[in-house]
Structures are given as C-alpha cells and as structure tokens.
Amino acid sequence: MAELFSDAWMKSYMTEWNNEPELSDALAKINFNSRIAYGFDKEDQPRAVITIENGKATAAGSYNGEELNWDLRASAENWQKWIDKGIGMASLGMAYVGGKLKFKTGDYGAMIKDPRMASPFVKSFTVMGRVKA
C-alpha cells in the first residue's frame, strides 16, 4: 500500500493522469505545462510534485525543491475525503473559500474562470481516487 503523496503513490497517479482523456487530452489541447505540488496544510514544504508537459504527466514523485507553478495544500482528512468521493465545481469553490483547500502557489481565481482548466482540475481529484493506496 502506497501512502498518500509518497513517491510510489505519485508514480501511480502519473499513470492514471495519462490514462484519463478528460484530464491529459483536455490539457494537451491548451498546451498546458506546469509543475504541481501536493501536500498538507500545516507543513512547510509540499510532499510531492507532478510535472505536466502539453497535458501529459512526464515525471512524478517526492518534492525535491523544484520550482512550482501550483502548490496545493489541505489536511490529510480533506484530501482523503476528496479522493474517496471526488469533488464537484461547487464543492471545490466552498473548499477554497472555506480555507480547506489552499493554493500556496498558483492563481485559483484565474484557473476556475477558465473552463479549459477548471474541468480538468476537478477531474484530477477523480483520477486521484483511482490510485491504489
């Protein structure tokens, strides 16, 4: 069993990311390139990072000081809830406004206003749920 955001978990997440057309193909259409980190809200640094090039995940694993475009933080309990149940657009907005999902790096407002990015972002939570933990 791989622990959430461990190196092994992230490698599985990368595979699942690339296997989901509503995520990888949708982001490829807008030439999305980014380095996205994930972690827990009370920690100084993120736990893990995934590198996206033209919508496809090309690398994933433990965070090692990489420069980030996005750094997403939440409590372990909230991450697990979203991974187990997914998250919709309304729930995402409530999580952000209520401080349950924090963007230490990245512009939530710009992302959520662009459906070409917002829909894949929401889908990424569903894809996390496919990772065997």
pLDDT for the residue 110:
86
pLDDT for the residue 133:
64
Query: Domains, the chain, ranges and CATH?
Result: 7-128 (3.30.1050.10)
CA distances from 107 to 10, 42, 61 (A): 23, 20, 23
Give this prediction's pTM: 0.93
Q: How far apart are CA 55 and CA 21, in angstroms?
A: 10
pLDDT band at residue 95 using 50, 70 and 90 as cut-offs:
very high
pLDDT for the residue 1:
46
